[in-house]
Amino acid sequence: MKITPHGAARAVTGSQHLVEACGRRILLDCGMFQGHRQESEKLNRSQAYDPASIDAVVLSHAHIDHSGNLPTIVKNGFRGTIVSTFATRDLSAIMLPDSAHIQRGDIEYLNRKRRKKGLPDLQPLYEMDDVMKALELFVSIPYGRPFDLFDGVKVRFLEAGHILGSSQVELELREGGKTTTLLFSGDLGRKGRPILRDPDLSARPDFLLMESTYGGRLHEPPEEAMDKLSEVLNRTSESGGKVIVPSFSVGRTQEVLYYLHELLIADRVPQLPIYVDSPLSFNATEVYMLHPECFDARMRELVQDRQTPFNSESVRFTQNVEDSKALNHDTSPMIIISASGMCENGRILHHLKNNVGDPRSTILVVGFMAANTLGRRLVERAPTVSIFGESYERKARVEVINGFSAHADSEGLYAYASVVGERAGRITLVHGEEEQALSLRDRLREGLQKDVLVPRMHEVIRL
Ligand SMILES: [Zn+2]
Ligand SMILES: [Zn+2]
C-alpha cells in the first residue's frame, strides 16, 4: 500500500493524492493548480499518472483546487467513478461549468494577444462537454455510511466543516488479511462557524493525511469579526455611502449573509438593502438551500422558522446585467456583495469602479487576497488603483475582516491532530505552503511525539 501526493505538497493548490492498494488506484481529489500561470498551466495539462489507469476519484469537497481537474482527466481517458457527498456533487454541477466558462474567457484573451504576434491559437484546458462527461460519473453517498467501493476498499465521509458538503475521507483497506484505515482530512473548517456543523473528530485512523494551510498562524475570533462588521455598516449608513463586499460565491457569500442576518435580528445594524450581485452566488445559495441535512442546529432552527439569512426581506439577488447596472444609479445606502473574491474579474469590478472614488463608501474585504490582484492593492490601501485599464483615485475606506476564514488555524489543526491522530503511526502534512507545513510539523513532533512527514510532490509514501 502506498500513497503519492501529485499536488498540494508543500503548496496549497492542485490537491490530488494517489492511493495504491488492494490492486486498485484511487485518487483522493483532483484539484486544479492555481497561481503562476505558466507553471500551473503545465501541471494542469498533463498528469503525473495515466488518468485511464485510475479506478475511482474520491472527492473531499467542491472547491476548484480540489475538483477543478476532474474534466481534464476525463478528457485524458479517465472512465472510473467519482465519489462524493450529495452536496459536493451539486456544488460541482455549478462550479465545474463556471470553471470551463472562465477558461474559455482566459484562452480567448490569450489567443487575441498571440494572434497579434503571429503565434498559433491555444486550446482551453477543457470545455463544457468534458464537464458534462465528468458530472455523469458521480456517485453520491451520505455522511457516516461506509460504502463498498471495491473488493477490500470501503469509503466513508465525515463532516469537515469547511464548505457545504465538505468531508474528511476515510478509506478502510483490507489487504492480505490485514485492515488499514487511512484518513484524509480534506480542508478542515473551524469550530463554531455559521451554517455548517463542526468538524467530526470521531475517526481514529492508522494513517492520517491532513491539511496545513494555516499551520503556523492564528485567526481572529469570529466575535471580533461581527463587531467590526456592525461598525462598518453603521458608519457607512450614517455617511450615506455604499458597502462593497468582494466575496467568493460559494461559502463566503452565504456566511456574510448569515452574519448580516444575525446582526439585524439583534438590532445591531440599520436595515439596509443587501444586493447579492453574482449569478454563481445565486446558484450556490440555491444549492445550500437544497441541503439542510448539512446545516448546524442554529441554521436548522432558522430554516424551520422560515427565517433563513438568504430569503429575508432585505436580501435581493440580481440576476441579469440590467439589474446589476441599475445599482449604479441608485444613490441610497446599500450593501453590495459581488464576485470575484479577489476582484480579478466579474461584476465586482463595475461596483468598485463606481464607488472607489467616493469617500462615503467602504470596501469591505472579507477574504484572502493573493499577491498581484486588485484585491491586494485595495488591502494595501493604495492611493490609486487600476480597473479595466484605467486609473482611479481611491477615496473609499477599505476595511479588512480576517475572522471569516473557512480553515482551521494552527490551534485548530493541532487540536484535531492530537485527537484524530491518536492512533496514527504517522501524520503526513499536505495542502500548506512550506513555511506553514513545517511550522505545524515541528509543533506536532514536539507536542505529540509523533512521526510527522511533509512530503514533496510525487514523493512515494508507504503505508
Ligand atoms: Zn477548500
Ligand atoms: Zn483547498
Answer yes or no: do 63 and 158 share one domain.
yes
For residue 322, the CA-to-ligand 2 centroid distance in Å is 34
For residue 306, the CA-to-ligand 2 centroid distance in Å is 32
Query: Domain range for residue 385?
Result: 222-400
- Beta strand 153-159 with 384-387 is unpaired
Chosen domain end from 378, 400, 422: 400
CATH of the domain at 64: 3.60.15.10
Answer yes or no: do 90 and 17 share one domain.
yes
- The torsion of the CA quartet 190, 195, 196, 198, rounded to 10 degrees, works out to 50
Chosen domain end from 358, 377, 400: 400
Whole-number mean pLDDT of the chain?
95
Cell 430554516 -> residue: 303
Answer yes or no: do 388 and 438 share one domain.
no
Split into its structural domains, the chain has a count of 2
Answer yes or no: do 172 and 43 share one domain.
yes
Low-confidence ranges of the chain (pLDDT < 50): none
User: What is the pLDDT at residue 25?
Assistant: 98
CATH of the domain at 269: 3.40.50.10890
- Beta strand 334-338 with 315-317 is unpaired
Q: Which ligand is nearest to the CA of 63?
A: 1
pLDDT over 70, % of the chain: 100
- The torsion of the CA quartet 216, 35, 285, 263, rounded to 10 degrees, works out to 40
Chosen domain end from 400, 428, 448: 400
For residue 164, the CA-to-ligand 1 centroid distance in Å is 10
User: What is the pLDDT at residue 148?
Assistant: 98
User: What is the pLDDT at residue 440?
Assistant: 98
Answer yes or no: do 166 and 293 share one domain.
no
Answer yes or no: do 311 and 237 share one domain.
yes
The residues with which 215 forms a beta bridge, in sequence order, are none
Cell 503505508 -> residue: 463
For residue 28, the CA-to-ligand 2 centroid distance in Å is 13
Cell 444586493 -> residue: 275
Q: In this structure, what DSSP letter does residue 382 have? A: -
Q: How is residue 427 written as a grid cell?
A: 501524520
pTM over 0.85: yes
Residue 131 parent element (H or E) = helix 128-135
Answer yes or no: do 206 and 229 share one domain.
no
For residue 14, the CA-to-ligand 1 centroid distance in Å is 11
Contact between residue 441 and residue 452 where contact means Cβ atoms under 8 Å apart:
yes
Answer yes or no: do 119 and 259 share one domain.
no
For residue 66, the CA-to-ligand 2 centroid distance in Å is 6
Cell 475582516 -> residue: 401
Answer yes or no: do 230 and 125 share one domain.
no
Answer yes or no: do 199 and 129 share one domain.
yes
